[in-house]
Amino acid sequence: MKKSKFLRVNFRDIAKGILTSIIGAVITGGYQAIESGNLDFKSIAISAGIAGLSYVGKNVLENSDGKLLMKEIEKKARR
């Protein structure tokens, strides 16, 4: 699947953002459980949401070559 273009999001970006949210929630929850002995699901959900949105936001600002804040460069077809 191709990477999304500059200022665009595709299904791959959303799926990876959700995966990042899940991993962020597991890590945050585990850390809080070790530190305090209980789980605060509201702060875990907020941390997970921020992680996922940060990932999607990063992808919106990258072009399909992975360069940050750079427009797409039209590639000429080889003949």
pLDDT (tens digit per residue) in 10-68: 888 888 889 988 998 888 888 888 888 887 888 888 888 898 898 888 888 888 777 87
Please tell me the predicted confidence (pLDDT) of residue 77: 62
Q: Is residue 37 part of a domain?
A: yes
Q: Is residue 59 part of a domain?
A: yes
- The model's confidence at residue 79, banded by pLDDT at 50, 70 and 90, is low
For the record, the structure tokens of 31 come out as 């850390």
Please tell me the predicted confidence (pLDDT) of residue 75: 67
Task: State whether residue 72 is helix, strand or coil.
Answer: coil
Q: Is residue 58 part of a domain?
A: yes
Q: Is residue 2 part of a domain?
A: no
For the record, the structure tokens of 1 come out as 């699947």
For the record, the structure tokens of 54 come out as 């940060």
Please tell me the predicted confidence (pLDDT) of residue 78: 63
Domain extent at residue 56: 26-64
Is residue 47 within 8 A of residue 28, CB to CB? The reply is yes
Q: Is residue 18 part of a domain?
A: no
How many folded domains does the chain comprise?
1
68 pairs with which residues across the strands? 62
pTM, full prediction: 0.70
Q: Is residue 31 part of a domain?
A: yes
What are the b/e assignments for 30-58, b being 16+ CB within 10 Å? eebeeeeeeeeeeebeebbeebbeebbee
